[in-house]
Structure 1
Amino acid sequence: MSENKDLIDDEYKRKFLVIVDDTPECAKAVTFAALRVRRTGGTVVLLSIIEPDQFQHWLGVEEVMRTEAYETCQNLQARHAANIAAFGSIKTEKLVREGKKTDVIEALLAEDPDIAILVLAAADSSEGPGPLVTQIAARGHNAFRVPVTVVPGSISDADLAALC
């Protein structure tokens, strides 16, 4: 039995999935995931999602808009990866997918069994925690096969470091 446990410990490194977008609170989710990985090992997966409705109204320039959207996502991910690198040698993966956000997340979780935690950040707003957090919360406690960690958007980096 301990042989199986050792095999699992040697091969398995959990992944923290972070949805990367241009919201101010996204940086908090990335910081939390990076600090947890620094402490416990694993990988930070940076996922950017391009929703297809961005292209429907521009038939003649759809491919140009798609290319620009991918470049924007890659630049945003590069910026967050650079911030992660400031915490030390932390493995990262960068993914860009198209589709409805909750559907893309669900598909990726089904595709990659090493993803163990979904990390989101709540907006620091009187209008609510943000659309993605609201959508996932509305799906209920069995929405995904992994725990969802929601980091408060107003938390300081020092407080995040103390938590991790």
Structure 2
Amino acid sequence: MADEADAPDPLLERVFLVVADETEEMSNALRFAGRRAQHSGGRVALLAVVEPSDLGNWLGVGQVIEDDQRRDAETLLHRMAEEAYRMTGKMPILHLREGDRREEVVKLLQEDRTISLLVLGTAKGSSPGPIVTYLMSHLGSSIRIPVTLVPGDLTPEEIDQVT
């Protein structure tokens, strides 16, 4: 039986956060984070955000839509968690939040000091996207961890080479 003193300190374990969504570039970010976690003995953390609906007067309809979005987000998190587990052999840390996606990323990074790197994918041949643009304006003032941008044009083999 292993001694508790031999167990790794969870505060020293590198945690690579990926924002979960259905975009193609997210799969590159997940692969990068998974490979980095695998090579460093770290873990992947996944964040999905359910954004509130804007159906003020139609509260019942808005609630149904938000419930559907939450189920979709949970399904996405579980699918991504399986993939992260296959790469790393460790269960990822799952975060599910409600609110504005950009703001919730910043809040999580401020609250969870175990996260050591934010990994975001960029779309093929386009601008960085709303999350990257928002985060760049908050780096240093409220985000105190490195951010890695994984180009959407990278192949899985190229990602493996750089990780």
Match of 2:133 in 1: 134
Q: Secondary structure at the match of 1:94?
A: strand
Pair 1:32 & 2:32 matched: yes
Aligned 8 A contact 2:54 2:62 in 1: yes
Q: 1:136 to 1:88 in 2, by over 3 A?
A: closer
Structure 2: state its 5+ residue gaps: none
Letter in 1 for 2:158: D
Other-structure match for 1:159: 158
**TM-superposition CA deviations, 1:39-86 (whole Å, max 9, x none):** 00222111011222x243542222221211111011111221222233
Give the whole-Å Cα distance in 1 for the aligned partners of 2:108 and 2:122.
21
Structure 1: tracts of 5 or more residues without a match: 1-5
- 3-state SS of 1:118 partner: strand
State the shift of 1:143 in Å. 4.8
Q: Report the AA paired with residue 133 of structure 1.
A: V
For the 8 Å contact 1:55–1:66, the answer to whether it is kept is: no
Equivalent residues, number: 156
RMSD: 2.1
Q: Secondary structure at the match of 1:21?
A: coil
- The residue that corresponds to 2:15 in the other structure is 15
- Alpha-carbon separation, structure 2, partners of 1:41 and 1:117: 14
The answer on whether the counterparts of 1:123 and 1:129 sit within 8 Å (CA) in structure 2 is yes
Quick one: percent identity of the two aligned structures? Answer: 33
In the TM superposition, what is the alpha-carbon distance from 1:89 to its structure 2 partner?
Answer: 0.5
Match of 1:78 in 2: 78
Q: State the 1:129 CA deviation.
A: 2.0
CA distance in 2 between partners of 1:104 and 1:30 (Å): 19
Deviations 1:119-147 (A, max 9, x none): 10001133x12221222224455451111
